[in-house]
Amino acid sequence: MAVSDNRPFFLNLFKIRLPVTGFVSIFHRISGLLMFLAIPFSIFLFDISLQGESGFNQAAGILQHPFIQLISLVLLWSIVHHLLAGIRFLFTDFDIGLEKRQATLFAWLVFAIEAILFVLLAMRIFL
Amino acid sequence: MSSPGLQGLRPWIIQRVSAVYIALYIIYFSLLLFIDNPVTAQDWALWAAIPYNNIALGLFLIAVLWHAWIGVRDIVLDYVPNVVSRLVVLTIVGCTILGSGLWGFKALFMVAIK
């Protein structure tokens, strides 16, 4: 296969312009990694929350802290995006929505549902 | 795996089966919270001690940790090319996963026998 020498080869991540489908993908990875990092602390909270009144209140108190609330918001987004993008990828496994226009539509659909779900859940949890 | 063509099929399947269980359980759990919120310390512990819920939570823990292991392993294999750094990072990740699992099961066991 003939290969041209002047193909773009970007090592600078900021020069790579991703299509919307690419954002669904990379955010799936980022959100997954963020949730992995949160596992040990989440298990700690789960553990103490089950240890009677004092532990439960301690866990609730930690979750009230502004910095933890900020992290909770990021993790809420992570769950919502990871879940919706994951459902989209399961469709991909069954060869559904592979054609370019359909794939783009699916990607926008993920972001649209994600935005609505995120705002609704954030309001329910934090307000 | 006996056939070289099947390498990687097992984690691929585990990733998807665990994903379905995690998704269904998160939706179920979120609906519970929407219906019955806020809960008290006693309600929460009693709920987690019911065998049905205790086992479902244990399965959720296994599904999440296994799913996370496969996902993070894929990320490490993609972005960490050096064999030694790979081994170091994967060891840290593996220990984190196993430690979290033991801790989670301890919490589930303690609340079940209380």
Number of domains in chain A: 1
- Return the number of other C-beta atoms located less than 10 Å from residue A78's C-beta: 21
Q: Is residue A10 part of a domain?
A: no
Band (A17; pLDDT cuts 50, 70, 90): confident
Report the pLDDT value the prediction gives residue B1, as an integer from 0 to 100.
43
Range of the domain at B23: 4-113
Residue pLDDT, tens place only, A68-116: 999 999 999 999 999 999 999 999 999 999 999 999 999 999 999 999 9
A103 occurs within a structural domain: yes
What CATH number is attached to the domain comprising B10? 1.20.1300.10
User: Could you tell me if A79 and A39 are in contact, meaning their C-beta atoms sit under 8 angstroms apart?
Assistant: no
Å between A33 CA and nearest CA of chain B: 7
Provide the residue range defining the domain that includes A107: 18-126
Are the C-beta atoms of A124 and A73 separated by less than 8 Å? Answer: no
Task: Kindly list the residues from chain B whose CB atom is less than 8 angstroms away from the CB atom of residue A87.
Answer: 23
Which pLDDT value is given to residue A124?
Answer: 85
**pLDDT of A8:** 64
pLDDT at residue A4, as a whole number: 63
- Residue A6 located in a structural domain: no
pTM comes to: 0.90
Q: Evaluate whether B109 touches B44 at the Cβ level (below 8 Å).
A: no
Task: Determine whether the interchain pair A52/B45 forms a contact, defined as Cβ–Cβ distance below 8 Å.
Answer: yes
The number of folded domains in chain B is 1
Q: Which of A32, A43, A50 lies closest to B48 in CB terms?
A: A50
Give the model's pLDDT for residue B8. 84
Interchain CB contacts (distance < 8 Å): A and B: 67
Measured in angstroms, the CA of B67 and the nearest CA of chain A are apart by: 10
Nearest C-alpha in A relative to B100 = A40
For chain B, say whether A55 makes contact (Cβ under 8 Å): yes
CATH number of A42's domain: 1.20.1300.10
Helical ranges in chain A per DSSP H: 20-49, 52-64, 66-93, 100-126
A82 belongs to a structural domain: yes
List, for chain B, all residue ranges whose pLDDT scores fall below the cut of 70: 1-6, 38
Question: What is the pLDDT at residue B2?
Answer: 52
Q: For residue range A21-71, what is the model confidence (pLDDT) as tens digits? A: 999 999 999 999 999 999 999 999 999 999 999 999 999 999 999 999 999
pLDDT at A2: 58
Residue in A44, A49, A83 nearest the CB of B44: A49
